[in-house]
Amino acid sequence: MSLRLGYYPGCSQSGTAAEYDISTRACCRALGMELADVPNWTCCGSTPAHTVDHHLAGALAARNLLQAEKAGLERVVTPCPSCLAALKTADSHLADEAYKAGVEALLGRPAPGPVDCQSTLQALFEHIGPEGVKARVKRPLTGLRVATYYGCILNRPPGLMAFDDPENPVAMDRLLEACGATVVDFPFKTECCGAAFGMPRLDVMQRLSARILDMAESVGADVIAVACPLCQMNLDLRRGQVNAASGRDIRLPVPYFTQLMGLALGLPEAELCLPKLVLPLEPALAAAQQREAAGRAEAQARAAAKAAKNGTPRSEPVCKEDAPCA
């Protein structure tokens, strides 16, 4: 059974974050979620609009909700947390009549009725779920240690975003675990990376992104999985700037969670767009595979030694968890 959802790609996803859009579409297709683009969508206004005026922000976002409504799309999903916040904020504030009148004055026509907006992460988690993903995994990410980085606004403020835990979100954790990855305990899941300050206040962005990278490295992650094009740009494309400021040389790759999921689902290279990442993913995958192989060899050697000591030869290696208590 296929599920049809409205899809709002957002501006970054047709430029610097094209790999997020391509891998999102590919994962949804592979998992039976049909996406119908909001016709002739325009910019949601993002952060700059709401920092200038709330009516302007509302009108820019509401134009897209109107487009969705006209196309008969009752639910709209978007991969970008900033687009999601803009669409949900407009949708929520339009319930206020005075605000709605101001937005309509800018739109030049009646505002849209309520439209349900979700992140593609939420849609994947709620409609397919970890079990649904697990059933379709062809190339499990066994041994890959992933720090899941949600960014600041995917789940906040909780009253508006209404999905997952605002302080310790787990939806991405569960989906990547279903892909066979090992999700490490990462205390900075929702800390800010410096957002759009890369251009106007590079020093601020460098300090904040360096904290995220330091923490990911200290918890032993192989990769940082992200769900936001701005987080990805700060941690990956701007890595040289961040490393230069912190005096470190951290090389952790920063793939979108949909690229990791697509890899596990066995999707073709062209739909994963891994070469678009500035820090390559391959060395991390190779290191995880080597570590896994070494771990297996070590367990086998231990089991063999134990069997020899007890004088009871065993053909199968024994995992510590399966062994009976003494």
CB atoms within 10 A of CB 78: 28
Beta strands in the chain (DSSP E): 3-7, 33-37, 75-78, 116-119, 145-149, 182-183, 223-226
With binding defined as CB under 8 A, does residue 56 bind other proteins?
Answer: yes
Residue 191 near other proteins by CB under 8 A: yes
- Exactly one of 75, 92, 104, 180 binds other proteins (CB under 8 A); that residue is 104
Q: How far is CA 24 from CA 254, 258, 259, 264, in A?
A: 16, 6, 8, 13
User: Pairing between strand 33-37 and 223-226?
Assistant: unpaired
Residue closer to other proteins (CB basis): 128 or 150 = 150
CA–CA gap between residue 297 and residue 293 (Å, rounded): 6
- Sign of the alpha-carbon torsion through 259, 263, 265, 267: positive
* Cβ contact 205:238 at 8 Å: yes
Q: Which of 28, 35, 60, 213 lies at the binding interface for other proteins (CB under 8 A)?
A: 60
> From the CB of residue 313, how many other CB atoms can be counted at a distance below 10 Å?
8
Q: Which stretch binds other proteins (CB under 8 A): 101-109, 128-136, 216-224, 296-304?
A: 101-109
**239 Cβ contact partners less than 8 Å away, ≥ 6 residues apart:** 213, 250, 278, 279
Residue closer to other proteins by CB (options 59, 224) is 59
Q: Does 11 bind other proteins (CB under 8 A)?
A: yes
x/- string (CB under 8 A) for other proteins, residues 141-160? -----------xx--xxx--
Question: What is the Cα–Cα distance from 158 to 161, expressed in whole angstroms?
Answer: 5
Among 70, 101, 110, 139, which residue interacts with other proteins (rule: CB under 8 A)? Answer: 101
Among 49, 221, 263, 267, interactor with other proteins by CB under 8 A: 49
> According to CB under 8 A, which residues from 257 to 286 bind other proteins?
275-278
- The span of 6-14, 247-255, 284-292, 316-324 binding other proteins (CB under 8 A) equals 6-14
With tokens 């904020």, the residue in question is 89
Binding flag, residue 207, other proteins (CB under 8 A) = yes
* Single residue of 36, 137, 170, 202 touching other proteins by CB under 8 A: 202
Q: Is residue 84 part of the contact set for other proteins (CB under 8 A)?
A: no
Tell me the three state secondary structure of residue 321: helix
Using CB under 8 A, pick the residue from 26, 27, 45, 258 that binds other proteins: 45
Region of 197 on the Ramachandran plot (φ > 0 left; ψ -120 to 50 alpha; else beta): alpha
3-state secondary structure of 223: strand
The smaller minimum CB distance to other proteins, of residues 9 and 143, is found at 9
Q: Using CB under 8 A as the criterion, what x/- string covers residues 229-258 for binding other proteins?
A: --------xx-xx-----------------
Peptide bond into 255 cis (omega under 30): no
If the CB atoms of residues 270 and 325 are measured against other proteins, the closer one turns out to be: 270
CA distance 104 to 126: 33
- Say if strands 223-226 and 116-119 run parallel, antiparallel, or are unpaired: unpaired
Which of 2, 95, 131, 200: binder of other proteins (CB under 8 A)?
A: 200
Binding site for other proteins (CB under 8 A): 11-12, 14-16, 18, 39-43, 45-56, 59-60, 63, 67, 101-108, 152-153, 156-158, 166-167, 190-192, 194-202, 204, 207-208, 237-238, 240-241, 275-278
